[in-house]
Structure 1
């Protein structure tokens, strides 16, 4: 492997766990500062949390919704350009033709909009005595896969509840993604039960890196986020993890390590479309 190839096989990822308030301007300003901080620590790809510009809740989505492009995405574009990073802009409530979406905008180091991913699987749950939340009361679902290229690897994007659907991650892996990013806001019921479990599952299933970005925990908020933004490697190990507070966590993504894992346990080579060969389901 050439020196250039070795250099391109590694890059630093930063996951921003932002304390989100009801003041949009403050959220945008804080996010911009943390993006700059991450870049100063060598990050080439930066990920923000779900609903980073707005409190999370069906009552807030209509109030905080914006067009894309709009105020929030303009700040993201400027932040990506001034820091020279690929920026996965968490998500914001988006308004388009009278409908609301939970949307992630991704920007390149030149500030250009690379894609916007509208959350496909809306968060509609009802756990008796613990939590009921129905995104579909105000939001409409997206319908498309979202992949962007970097000089290092292809990256697939999902938002929060999207991570529960293994098929989506499999489709991204089939498209050549080596890193999956999920801005999310699991709560105090689903967070301790499933947040890390799902990340590790998606990573092991597809032999990819998986990164999740949560808002910091605010016990006074109407919706309390679990926190614990994380990065998991293709072996299923948690290599970076936040607590509940506002912070930035870093992970050095090693694509040669990913290739080694795939060579050692060659499950991807035995996949055939959406089915597995007999050998792939018999280990040992």
Structure 2
């Protein structure tokens, strides 16, 4: 036990790297610098193999044995495999590749921070142009903002709502997304729009694959009901109905979890996505001028750090004359909580690179999966549990 405690203390002497944030305005193309791994990781083989080789990870045989022994102690005492019910799924191999002497799993993401007006046809045409611009800059995945086809207000939701399931003329916003995704051969997380289904309205995000097919539809689970006297009051539940299902979807750019704005405040949802093997969580959102400065970046970095995956967000551009004023600051965050790309509040297209090989590296640097206390707590994925 003394040996295990000694090893525990020494294992905390981690040396996390830091990376600087990049401020981007207008149309910006960026290849973000990931956290710099030590030279020993620069090997033209899969990270999983590199991480088991003494020379590449710079460990002595003695320290490697000590680490293995400690992992065994943790597994027997902490029962990490029982911390997720059902057990966490292994991280799947994403289908994206990049020709390089390094084993990289890279692609570019485009975050389209759009100005939104009361003119629905203009908003749809404007979003189409932004997606095309992002794809022209190399984006294989494009993310749009929350409620991008009309104003964000309870009065507007019924007016701008579309019947997504009916499609065609009943849903011109999603018809555009489908057509563009197929034509440009890209994956689109279509922000969100107000959806009409029967006598109910939802705040809904649609994911389209490279063939233009609807891969998934996420209805906002946590509705934005907030009352900060003298600052902001908004009760989304006056007009909208809450969704009932977490949404995770396999795409040509990896396994993606979907949340909408207020969903980001609930770590349990992100933990479910992490346990289902997500590489990336996308949150179209429209934080406001009260909570945005305090919480927007903080929550993104927390969700990414807690689950050791990428988090991408996309907001509408700020319109100081609108009834609801968005904070902006669309952002991409890496699995160590580092801000890889961001912008201010003006309209902008952010192009940044996601490298999935970093996920395994960071999960080896900080082996949270092996350190969870299944003997003390559990995350229960009710949907998965009931489906077994």
Which residue number corresponds to residue 213 of structure 1? 314
2:140·2:253 contact (CA, 8 Å) conserved in 1?
no
Does 2:356 align with 1:246? no
How far 1:276 sits from its partner (Å)? 5.6
Does 2:282 align with 1:181? yes
Which residue number corresponds to residue 334 of structure 2? 233
Which residue number corresponds to residue 76 of structure 2? none
Which residue number corresponds to residue 64 of structure 1? 160
2:187·2:253 contact (CA, 8 Å) conserved in 1?
no
Deviations 1:69-119 (CA, angstroms, capped at 9, x unpaired): 211110110111122110000000000011000000110011100011000
How far 1:269 sits from its partner (Å)? 3.2
Does 2:189 align with 1:88? yes
Does 2:124 align with 1:28? yes
- Separation in structure 2 between the aligned mates of residue 200 and residue 275 of structure 1, nearest angstrom: 25
1:9·1:152 contact (CA, 8 Å) conserved in 2?
no
Which residue number corresponds to residue 72 of structure 2? none
Which residue number corresponds to residue 84 of structure 2? none
- Separation in structure 1 between the aligned mates of residue 143 and residue 376 of structure 2, nearest angstrom: 32
Which residue number corresponds to residue 142 of structure 1? 243
2:344 partner SS: coil
Question: Cα–Cα, structure 1 residues 260 and 54, in superposed 2: closer, same or farther, change >3 Å?
Answer: same
1:51 partner SS: coil
How far 1:258 sits from its partner (Å)? 1.5
How far 1:272 sits from its partner (Å)? 6.4
Q: Where does the alignment leave 5 or more consecutive residues of structure 2 unmatched?
A: 1-44, 47-95, 379-388
- Separation in structure 1 between the aligned mates of residue 120 and residue 292 of structure 2, nearest angstrom: 25
How far 1:67 sits from its partner (Å)? 0.2
**Comparing 113-122 with 250-259, which one deviates more in the overlay?**
250-259
- Separation in structure 1 between the aligned mates of residue 376 and residue 185 of structure 2, nearest angstrom: 41
Q: Which has the higher strand share?
A: 1
- Separation in structure 1 between the aligned mates of residue 264 and residue 356 of structure 2, nearest angstrom: 22
After TM superposition, which residue ranges in structure 1, 4 or more long, deviate above 4 angstroms? 4-8, 272-277
Aligned mate of 2:138, from 39, 42, 54: 42
Deviations 1:159-213 (CA, angstroms, capped at 9, x unpaired): 0000000000000000000100000000000100100000000000000110100
Does 2:142 align with 1:15? no
- Separation in structure 1 between the aligned mates of residue 376 and residue 126 of structure 2, nearest angstrom: 45
Question: Cα–Cα, structure 1 residues 275 and 89, in superposed 2: closer, same or farther, change >3 Å?
Answer: farther
1:187·1:225 contact (CA, 8 Å) conserved in 2?
yes
- Separation in structure 2 between the aligned mates of residue 117 and residue 177 of structure 1, nearest angstrom: 15
Which residue number corresponds to residue 281 of structure 1? none
Please provide the CA RMSD for this pair: 1.6
1:206·1:268 contact (CA, 8 Å) conserved in 2?
no
Which residue number corresponds to residue 49 of structure 2? none
- Separation in structure 1 between the aligned mates of residue 370 and residue 110 of structure 2, nearest angstrom: 30
Question: Cα–Cα, structure 1 residues 269 and 11, in superposed 2: closer, same or farther, change >3 Å?
Answer: farther
**1 or 2 for the larger relative contact order (CA 8 Å, sep ≥6)?**
2
1:57 partner SS: coil
**Comparing 118-127 with 61-70, which one deviates more in the overlay?**
61-70
1:35·1:83 contact (CA, 8 Å) conserved in 2?
no
- Separation in structure 2 between the aligned mates of residue 274 and residue 5 of structure 1, nearest angstrom: 39
- Separation in structure 2 between the aligned mates of residue 95 and residue 174 of structure 1, nearest angstrom: 31
- Separation in structure 1 between the aligned mates of residue 377 and residue 369 of structure 2, nearest angstrom: 9
How far 1:227 sits from its partner (Å)? 0.3
Count residues with an aligned counterpart: 276
2:97·2:106 contact (CA, 8 Å) conserved in 1?
no
Asked which structure has the greater CA Rg, the reply is: 2
